[in-house]
Amino acid sequence: MAVRDILVTGAAGFIGSHFVRTLVGGGYPGLAGARVTVLDKLTYAGNRDNLRPVEDAPSFRFVHGDIADAALVDELVGSHDAIVHFAAESHVDRSILGATDFVMTNVVGTQALLDAALRHELGTFVQVSTDEVYGSIPEGSWPETDPLRPNSPYAASKASSDLIALAYHRTHGLDVRVTRCSNNYGPYQFPEKVIPLFVTNLLDGGTVPLYGDGMNRRDWLHVDDHCRAIDLVLEGGRPGEVYNIGGGTELTNKRLTELLLEACGADWSSVRYVTDRKGHDRRYSVDWTKIADELGYAPVHDFADGLAETVEWYREHRDWWEPLKRRGLVAS
């Protein structure tokens, strides 16, 4: 079925806005001519400026609202044939301080979308998730068939929404496809996440907080590679399937910090070691053989080049991130 009307939730945020800017700009040929509706609550991490490049396009519409608002969601879903569901509370530290918003948005909000999708016989529902649902892995990589063992309230809420979405496929036959990505980086990322937090602090001559011994390991994925993979799943994925999406660059947090210090012209005197996060997962690594074999996915962004371009973007776009810091929206 050709996708012509797409509802994209949470697309005033980092990853969703990249997907929408690329889609509306013609970056996904299979979706050429598709109309896009963005539904976003505009919480602290939602920013209309992320969508300014496409907001005047005739194929674009923005709706300010909550995915947990069942009446609004029902009204919107009925006029669309696909949903790409990015909307989520996603900052682990905030989930440790209080999990209510995470459960309401990530679980209850997702269920409201699924109910509306079922009522209106939606074509395809893409549930965008995270590798954090798997827990922590000392060596090797998780295939999609591994059990979910989330450790943070954030990860548990995402695992719950994944399971609910897949249950709607198994129970009702709804065309649900789940993606689970590794750590994203790139422009427009809210500066409470590690790369933009460190970069913006260092550009201001400040310090950066390094958790524990700095040896926690993550695989890094450019946001553009992630969104291309989501497009592949939307257009060619199989109903009821999960697809891992990786970037292919695994680094310790300490090594990442070294690279960011170098890129920003700083040294280790700018680093302050802080008490490790509660339940801090030691290592993430997804096996993305499935999406490569089935859909032809491969990351195209070299990490060194992508990181340099990302640092330069923050250097040149102080007008985007400085107001966020001045307004006290950034939790370090």
Output the pLDDT for position 91.
72
Residue 94 lies in a domain: yes
Which backbone phi and psi does 75 adopt, to 5 degrees? -65, -40
Q: Which domain holds residue 76?
A: 5-184+223-245
Clarify whether residues 77 and 170 are in a common domain.
Answer: yes
Q: Are 235 and 30 in contact (CB under 8 A)?
A: yes
In a domain, residue 270? The reply is yes
Q: Is 290 inside any structural domain?
A: no
The pLDDT assigned to 306 comes to 98
Residue 302: predicted pLDDT = 97
Element (H, E) at 254: helix 253-263
Same domain, 129 and 255: no
In a domain, 331, yes or no: no
Beta strands (DSSP E) in the chain are 5-9, 35-40, 60-64, 82-85, 124-130, 176-181, 183-185, 208-211, 217-222, 242-245, 249-252, 271-274
130, 132, 138, 140: CA torsion to nearest 10: -20
**pLDDT confidence of residue 92:** 80
Domain contains 140: yes
Residues 123 and 52 in one domain: yes
* Predicted pLDDT of residue 201: 97
Whether 102 and 147 share a structural domain: yes
Query: For residue 257, is it within any domain?
Result: yes
Q: Which residue has the tokens 């201001």?
A: 204
Residue 293 lies in a domain: no
pLDDT at res. 89: 87
- Tokens for 169, please give them: 């496929």
Comparing CA positions, the residue from 290, 9, 235, 38 lying closest to residue 123 is 235
pLDDT of the residue at 138: 95
Q: Do residues 204 and 105 share a domain? A: no
Integer Cα distance of 297 and 264 in angstroms: 32
- Catalytic, 56? Answer no
Are 193 and 129 in the same domain? no
Active site residue 284: no
Pair (157, 268) in one structural domain: no
Of 132, 175, 192, 281, the catalytic one is: 132
Domain match, 207 and 112 both: no
Same domain for 149 and 59? Answer: yes
Maximum Cα interatomic distance, the chain, rounded to a whole number of Å = 58
11-26 pLDDT, tens digit each: 999 999 999 999 999 9
CATH number of the domain residue 254 falls in: 3.90.25.10
Is 284 within the bounds of a domain?
Answer: no
Please tell me the distance from the alpha carbon of residue 50 to that of residue 46, in angstroms, as a whole number. Answer: 8
Is the same domain home to 258 and 173? no
**CATH number of residue 35's parent domain:** 3.40.50.720
Query: Do both 27 and 124 map to the same domain?
Result: yes
Alpha-helical (H) ranges within 130-215 are 153-172, 194-203
Q: Which of 134, 154, 243, 314 is catalytic?
A: 154
Please say if 132 is a catalytic residue. Answer: yes
Give the DSSP H/E element, type plus range, for residue 228.
helix 223-236
> Considering only CA atoms, which of 220, 196, 201 is closest in space to residue 271?
201
Mean pLDDT of each 10-residue bin along the chain, 332 residues long: 87 97 97 96 94 97 97 96 93 82 92 98 97 96 97 93 98 98 97 96 97 95 98 98 98 98 97 88 96 98 98 98 80 52
pLDDT value of position 305: 98
Domains held by the chain: number: 2
Please give the distance of CA 45 from its chain centroid, rounded to a whole number: 12
Find the catalytic residue in 81, 131, 162, 225. Answer: 131
122-150 residue pLDDT tens? 999 999 999 999 999 999 999 999 999 99
State phi, psi for 176 to the nearest 5 degrees: -105, 135
The dihedral sign for the CA sequence 207, 209, 212, 217: negative
Q: State whether 128 and 170 are in the same domain.
A: yes
- Res 229: pLDDT: 98
